[in-house]
Structure 1
Amino acid sequence: MTLPYLKTRRLVLRPLNENDAEAIAELGGKDFDVARWLTGTSWPYIEGEAEAFVSSLMQTDPFESEAVFAVTLGGVFIGTVAIEAPGDLVELPETPTLGYWLGRAFQGNGYASEAVEAVLDWAFATYETQTIAARAFESNTRSRAVLRKMGFKPHSMTDRFVKALDQRVANVVVRLEKQDFERRSFAA
């Protein structure tokens, strides 16, 4: 099964493809200011890591593993937004999990909020779920602000190993109820 194209006011979110590996490496893997916030990215960047990531995604059903959307602005890749199938979080094992990142040059313009909102709308319908979870480093105030803006509420604390930092980092686990998301969307 393939992912759809999602369009927002300024962005197009499309299924990730093999041609995106170079942009993933440049914008995420080779920029420490981005890589430091991602749990699975090595530092220093290991050549081929982005290609291996994309290749593994191409071989799995996105609805059984991870549905990753390339976020594009005017056709230019600027980051990703993903929904991981239930099972990623021990704290909420039956709940799909949201994750996202943008290249540093594209941060601070509202693109993350725009992309996340589109994927959440899609995910609630596609997964027929009443709740979506996310986690963010406790110290990542910008990411946590995006999640709050979407209506996520704190659920618990956990810690995850971060390859780029070579240490475990405290994470806030948050959850979003479909009714809260719809209420927030309707009010806007």
Structure 2
Amino acid sequence: MSMLPELKTRRLILRPIEMSDAEAMVALAGKDFEVARWMTSFTWPYEDGAAEAFLKTVVGKDPFETEALFAITLGGVFIGVVAIEPPGDLDDLPNLPTLGYWLGRAFQGHGYASEAVEAALAWAFEAFETDAIAARAFEDNFRSRGLLRKMGFKPYSMTERFSKALDRRVSNVIVRLARTDFDARKEAA
């Protein structure tokens, strides 16, 4: 039984990821270079069984030890993922949970990512009892960086990560969102 709740937004339902989501993950991200290229963890070409192997490490496990992984669904259709990794993913901000997300290309540009990320952040601030959340994005991923800025994240530092899809080290911007900034933005909205 998952310890993760279902999160509902205006248009989306974020539900705990399931083993049965593997096929959709491969179709939307594993087989689309324009999605995979922005992620450090995806091999390219995507290896058969990689999605299942990854999901086995998360599904049914303690989300506060592995990661809290939500399937983003629109009308019951899987369109992407939003994840909150427990503290420890980033050397620069080792005490903070880390946000990550991706959407299938057909679902980008409609505000779904903002909607999903906002819901996941609101949940994570409570669930992890934290006063800040970190994230990182490739330096040239202007869309993702724009979304994070809109949520109230502020630049914190730079790091390099090896991108399997691009087969090289990539500059990443590490950003930090204070709970006070997140709450202030919501109140202003």
TM interval, short-chain normalised = over 0.9
Determine the structure 2 residue equivalent to 1:128.
129
The secondary structure found in structure 2 opposite 1:109 is coil
Determine the structure 2 residue equivalent to 1:69.
70
TM-score by length of 2: 0.98
The secondary structure found in structure 2 opposite 1:58 is coil
Which aligned runs of 4 or more in structure 1 are off by greater than 3 angstroms?
none
Determine the structure 2 residue equivalent to 1:49.
50
Establish whether residue 150 from structure 1 lines up as the match of residue 151 from structure 2: yes
Once the two structures are superposed, the pairs formed by residues 35-184 of structure 1 within 5 Å of their partners are 35-58=36-59, 60-184=61-185
CA distance in 2, matches of 1:170, 1:46: 25
The secondary structure found in structure 1 opposite 2:165 is coil
The secondary structure found in structure 2 opposite 1:181 is helix
CA distance in 2, matches of 1:99, 1:66: 10
Residues matched between the structures, number: 188
Cα displacement (A) at 1:59: 5.0
Determine the structure 2 residue equivalent to 1:21.
22
CA distance in 2, matches of 1:44, 1:127: 35
Query: Residue 108 of structure 1 aligns to which amino acid in structure 2?
Result: G
Establish whether residue 12 from structure 1 lines up as the match of residue 13 from structure 2: yes
Query: Residue 87 of structure 1 aligns to which amino acid in structure 2?
Result: G
CA distance in 1, matches of 2:145, 2:10: 23
- Deviation string 1:113-151 (CA, Å, 9 cap, x unpaired) is 000000000000110000000000000000001100100
RMSD of the alignment, in Å? 0.7
Unaligned runs of 5+ in 1: none
Query: Residue 15 of structure 2 aligns to which amino acid in structure 1?
Result: R
The percentage of aligned residue pairs carrying the same residue is 68
Unaligned runs of 5+ in 2: none
TM-score by length of 1: 0.99
CA distance in 1, matches of 2:170, 2:102: 17
The secondary structure found in structure 2 opposite 1:125 is helix
- Contact kept? 2:158, 2:174, Cα under 8 Å: yes
Cα displacement (A) at 1:178: 0.2
